[in-house]
Amino acid sequence: MQIHYVLSYSAIKLKLITISFSVILPKLLKMEITIIVAMASNRIIGKDGMMPWHIPEDLRLFKKTTMGYPMIMGRKTFESLPGLLPGRRHIVLSRNKDYQPRGGEYAPDMTSALQLCGQVEKAFLIGGADIFEQGFSVATSIILTLLEREVEGDVTLPNFSDDEFKEESRRHYPDGSEPFTVVTYRRSVTNICI
């Protein structure tokens, strides 16, 4: 019985620490941290190190949304880019301390990456799956492009919790090269009071 209480207490404490970290870090840094991602209807986001689709209308939205703000990404996503995306800082995470992203800035972990952003209003977490998974605990919002078809691939978007992120808006784009919907989620504050 006592062990059960100790374990429950530890689990609650861990949850509180996680929640505190996720709620406090963006506040400390005073910035909006947004995950921006496009996903097929079967949760696929990547294949063979690349994006398995090309939707110019969604890329234009990505460019418009992220322009002028720092982008944080994993080493694999950085290496998959056709080149540096103009007008935005590329902050690249790698556990290899000697890694030097050409034209980008190296960060050894997520906290350093967020600190590197400095005094900015917003920063974007642009992938891939590794970064999204870690990013769910610090993001204040998510911008999710949903394709209407299944796609073959080898990288999926990890699940995020409906309790943590509430849908804020949804817009359908029916007229481009293929239809898609952009859903925006905002971190819910209700889960702080447990």
Ligand X SMILES: NC(=O)c1ccc[n+]([C@@H]2O[C@H](COP(=O)([O-])OP(=O)(O)OC[C@H]3O[C@@H](n4cnc5c(N)ncnc54)[C@H](OP(=O)(O)O)[C@@H]3O)[C@@H](O)[C@H]2O)c1
Q: Which of the stretches 26-34, 115-123, 127-135, 183-191 binds ligand X when contact is defined by CB under 6 A? A: 127-135
- Residues written for the chain: 194
Contact status: 50 vs ligand X (CB under 6 A): yes
Q: Which of the stretches 21-29, 63-71, 105-113, 180-188 binds ligand X when contact is defined by CB under 6 A? A: 105-113
Which of 70, 101, 104, 127 is the binder for ligand X (CB under 6 A)?
127
**Straight-line distance from the first to the last Cα atom of the chain, in angstroms, rounded to the nearest whole number:** 23
Contact status: 143 vs ligand X (CB under 6 A): no
Contact status: 37 vs ligand X (CB under 6 A): yes
2/86 with CB nearer ligand X: 86
Phi, psi of 22 (to 5 degrees): -70, -35
Task: Decide if 128 contacts 45 (C-beta within 8 A).
Answer: yes
Q: Which of 41, 65, 40 is nearest to 51 (CA)?
A: 40
Q: Report the residue number whose CB is nearest to ligand X.
A: 128
54/172 with CB nearer ligand X: 54
> What is the β-pairing status of strands 71-74 and 122-125?
parallel
Q: 93 pairs with which residues across the strands? A: 74, 107
Instruction: Tell me the closest approach of the beta carbon of residue 66 to ligand X, in angstroms.
Output: 12
Contact status: 76 vs ligand X (CB under 6 A): yes
The token pair that represents 136 in the structure block: 């769910």
